Structure 1
Amino acid sequence: MTLSKIEPVSVRTPQRVAEISWFDDIIGGDTEYLGVLDNSRRSSFEHCKDIALEAEKLGFSSILFPTAYTVGQDPLTFAAGIATLTQKINLLVAIRTGEFHPPMLARALASLDHMLGGRLILNIINSDLPGFREEPGLRYERCIETIEILKQAWTQDRINYKGKYYQVNLPTDPVKPYQQNGGPLLYFGGTSSGSRDVCAQYCDVFLNWPESEESMYETLKDMSARAASYGRKIDFGLRIHVIVRETEAEARAYAKRLMSKFDDQRGLEIRARGEDSRSLGVLRQDQLRETGDEDGYVEDILWTHIGKVFSGCGGGLVGSADQVVAKLNRYMDMGFRSFVFSGFPLIEEANYFAKLVLPRLPNVSMPRLQGRIPAEEPVTPLTTAVLV
């Protein structure tokens, strides 16, 4: 359902701007036809490197490297591999907090941040330890402890932490990031109340998956209120697919082409690969798809058939450039300040978006806007030599 009246929620960034990011499918799935494995576009260093460099050339502010233990490449390793090949684009790297010892994670992230000259953003994911199905409460507590240790590592002379899961007392010289006014920005997504509280208390941007305007607006109001209860303000982001063409008819025709080789059984197999296939967020994406018409459309240009293949983000905008820009303006009116787009195939659709939509948006680099990348200020070296 679309909103009849939009009053923007309280956000961290009051300027009406948008960080426009693209998606790099290092966990696999880039294809010409949904539900069909495309051997020419499988997750490899070369192909995913090409996606990142193309996104930078086209003018996207950031690019997201997702993560899933069961498939694809490791995002930290991949990001380090292309860090020095990029010049301007921010790397939005997904981190599953259940997979790392926090001090070692702090050192790895600091190393990467120095390679990038401050162009690092983190997508914090509250996760299980691979191979285990853990209770949500445990995951939330461990995620909080990890974030608190990272923040100590980035802002204090020592990590001095006594928690339920981690007890750490270490110097922070080896783990100081390039961004020494708070460290990298933290993006976080999650539908459950526990996940929302983690973001409201500790993170900078709450990432949503596409839903109806009414539903997303309620989420923004809830998250804004939760952040306020901690004396904070946060920004809002949207992870969403997109098909944009000169006309709506062309866009819808391409959406049908994408699904023309889809097989229900194969779609279920692909969806089941994701460790998040049973999360509350995924269930809400399934519920959204049930409200669509026979072609999968909800509201005006929100298309949901893509969720038949992917267990995570299951919706996309399908329409003319004017329609997509108008929808994004409505989202910005609601309070969204960051967008992570993708399309199939990724390089081809990035070019359509960059040509038809990107020049019409107030595209910014969020780390630079927030002052995380200093203009001409000296930076403390990553490591400090100690003479014994």
Structure 2
Amino acid sequence: MGCEVSWFAALCDDDYEFLGVQEDRLLSSWEHCRTIALGAEQAGYDNLLLPSGYTLGIDSVAFAAGIAPLLRRMRLLVAVRMGEMWPPQLARQLATIDQMLGGRLTVNVISSDLPGQALESEPRYRRTLEFMRVLRALLDGKPVDYRGEFITVALDPPRLRPARGCPPFYFGGLSEAAREVAAQAADVFLMWPDTMSAVEAVVADMRARAARYGRELRFGYRAHVIVRATEQEARAAAARLVSRLDDQTGEMIRRRSLDTTSAGTRRQNELRELADPAGYAEPNLWTGIGRARSGAGAAIVGDPGQVLAKLRGYADLGMEAFILSGYPHVAEADLFARHVLPHLDHGPLFPR
């Protein structure tokens, strides 16, 4: 199978040895996240997701500019929250980072509120679509004369622009509004963990939606991973991860996120409710992480062969990009890189 395999830089205070037990050494900082990034490049990952949040951790765009000169091969998938920044300025920042990376930038578009403000889901996604259209045009070096519901702007593109045009947009969301935005404006549709049958249904729906706009989508899968030499050891590591977590702390952690009411988060909650007493929604798909995490709330758990088989199963359904993470991020990135990564036919989804 050919796929892009990415790791995750815990920029949003999302790193633990025991889920829910915060440790200063694992809080997001330049030093800690730099260690994750450099380790991921050395281990052979193709890309690195830099997540974005307003209240937690450190800024994704600023971190990308800092780490870019230290990377020689790996790409960066920089999360940007639409609505928080004026598109012309964001276009200049992204073009600058792309130049620093030698054309290796990819962009994870997040539909977000403005800090301190809230917008209902459907208008927020309409605003996101406008931002994506204007941002793509500017990064493609095209003049913009746009008069929309949220953006009115007429200007020529800046001189600085990516040599290969707009970097690919990775985008996800399960609501009707989110799916329509992805069908019209995304390059890669990202999914959070789910059962094989549910993934298959979403892929079919998104392919049909994109086709109605004369477009084709590629697909990515964002999940946690716990791989050990044996399945017994992997399941024990999963149990250890949540061994100090109480329900009140888990609820507090979930609620501090900005996406607690999204359709995707609701689906992650449903997945936990459908799981067996040990937290497994289907073989090797463990939902325990979702007890203390809003967003991607399940992990692929097993021995190297089982994890590899699970990834290949998702690939057979259309997944071409995997964005993985694990706790603690430095240690789990190394384990996956040693046990599974060498057995995957992998490389950048969008070669330069």
Residue 367 of structure 1, CA deviation: 2.4
Mapped pair 1:245 → 2:228 = yes
When normalised by structure 1's length, the TM-score is 0.89
**Higher Rg of the two aligned structures:** 1
The 5 A counterparts of 1:166-181 are 166-180=151-165
One-letter code aligned to 2:197: E
Residue in structure 2 matching 1:67, options 52, 60, 78 = 52
The answer as to whether partners of 2:107 and 2:167 remain within 8 angstroms in 1 is yes
Aligned equivalents of 1:264 and 1:122: distance in 2? 34
1:28/1:43 contact within 8 Å kept: yes
CA contact (8 A) 1:113 1:179 kept: no
Deviation at 1:160, TM superposition (A): 2.1
C-alpha distance in 2, partners of 1:72/1:179? 31
For residues 307-326 of structure 1, what are the structure 2 equivalents within 5 Å?
Answer: 307-326=290-309
Distance 2:345 2:215 in 1: 25
Q: 2:270 aligns with which of 287, 292, 297?
A: 287
Residue 156 of structure 1 and its aligned partner are, at CA, apart by 4.1
Instruction: Give the conservation status (yes or no) of the 8 Å contact 2:92–2:158.
Output: no
Q: Please tell me whether the aligned partners of residues 21 and 341 of structure 1 are also in contact (alpha carbons under 8 angstroms).
A: yes
Q: Which amino acid aligns with 1:66?
A: P
1:79 to 64, 85, 89: 64
The alignment status of 1:106 with 2:95, answered yes or no, reads: no
Distance in 2 between residues matched to 1:156 and 1:265, nearest whole Å:
50
Distance across 2 between alignment mates of 1:285 and 1:298: 11
Question: C-alpha displacement at 1:139, in angstroms?
Answer: 1.1
Cα distance in 1 for partners of 2:92, 2:25 equals 35
Report if aligned partners of 2:16, 2:26 keep a CA contact under 8 Å in 1.
Answer: yes
Whole-Å separation in 2 of the counterparts to 1:240 and 1:270: 18
Q: TM-score, normalised by structure 2?
A: 0.98
- Pair 1:82–1:156, CA change in 2 (3 A): closer
Q: Secondary structure at the match of 1:197?
A: helix
Report the equivalent of 2:120: 135
Moved more, 37-46 or 134-143: 134-143
What residue in structure 2 maps to residue 385 of structure 1? none
CA distance in 1, matches of 2:234, 2:163: 42
Give the distance between the partners of 1:196 and 1:78, measured in 2 at CA: 29
Structure 2 match to 1:8: none
Instruction: Tell me the distance in 2 between the aligned counterparts of 1:158 and 1:103.
Output: 11
Provide the rounded CA distance (Å) in 2 between the counterparts of 1:217 and 1:307. Answer: 22
Q: Is the 8 A contact 1:153 1:175 kept in 2?
A: no
Structure-2 residue corresponding to 1:152: 137
Task: Determine the structure 1 residue equivalent to 2:257.
Answer: 274
- SS at the partner of 1:338? strand
Q: Distance in 1 between matches of 2:83 and 2:306?
A: 40
Q: Partners of 2:30 and 2:141 in 1: how far apart?
A: 36
User: Post-superposition, which runs of at least 4 consecutive aligned residues in structure 1 deviate over 4 A?
Assistant: none
Is the CA contact 1:317–1:324 (under 8 Å) kept in the aligned structure 2? Answer: yes
Deviation string 1:298-342 (CA, Å, 9 cap, x unpaired) is 111000011000011100011000001111111111000000000
Counterpart in the other structure of 2:172:
189
**Shift in Å, 1:179:** 2.6
| DSSP-derived class of the 1:325 partner | helix
Given that 1:106 and 1:153 are in contact with CA atoms closer than 8 Å, whether structure 2 keeps it comes out as yes
Does the residue aligned with 1:187 lie in a helix, a strand or coil?
Answer: strand
Whichever residue aligns with residue 162 of structure 1, its letter is: R
Distance (whole Å) between structure 2 residues aligned to residue 334 and residue 149 of structure 1: 32
Q: C-alpha separation between the residues in 2 aligned to 1:167 and 1:106?
A: 16
CA distance in structure 2 between the aligned counterparts of 1:282 and 1:40, rounded to whole angstroms: 28
Partner of 1:330: 313
Give how far 1:175 is off: 4.3
Indicate the residue corresponding to 2:73 in structure 1: 88
8 A Cα contact 2:139 2:161, kept in partner: yes
1:128-181 Cα deviation digits (max 9, x unpaired): 11111202222122111111111221234422222222222222133412333x
**Equivalent pair of 1:157/1:173 in contact (CA under 8 Å):** no
Aligned with 1:21: secondary structure?
Answer: strand
Q: Do 1:119 and 1:367's aligned partners in 2 also have CA atoms closer than 8 Å?
A: no
* Code of the aligned partner of 1:137: E
Query: Which structure 1 residue ranges, 5 or more long, are not aligned?
Result: 1-15, 374-388
- Residue-pair matches, total: 352
Alignment-mate amino acid for residue 338 of structure 2: K
Residue type of the partner of 1:271?
R
CA RMSD of aligned residues (A): 1.1
**Among residues 52, 60, 82, which one is paired with 1:97 in the alignment?**
82
The answer to whether residue 11 in structure 2 is matched with residue 30 in structure 1 is no
Amino acid of the structure 2 residue aligned with 1:171:
D
Identity across aligned pairs (percent)? 47
Q: Which residue of 2 aligns with 1:233?
A: 216
Which of 12, 36, 40 pairs up with 2:25? 40
Q: Distance in 2 between matches of 1:91 and 1:156?
A: 21
C-alpha contact 1:23 1:64 (8 A) present in aligned 2: yes
Q: For structure 2, list consecutive stretches of 5 or more residues without a partner in the other structure.
A: none
CA distances 1:50-74 after superposition (whole Å, capped 9, x unpaired) = 0000000000000001111121111
- Aligned with residue 237 of structure 2, among 245, 248, 254: 254
Residue among 342, 354, 361 paired with 2:325: 342
For residues 244 and 122 of structure 2, the distance between their equivalents in structure 1, rounded to whole angstroms, comes to: 41
1:221 aligned partner? 204
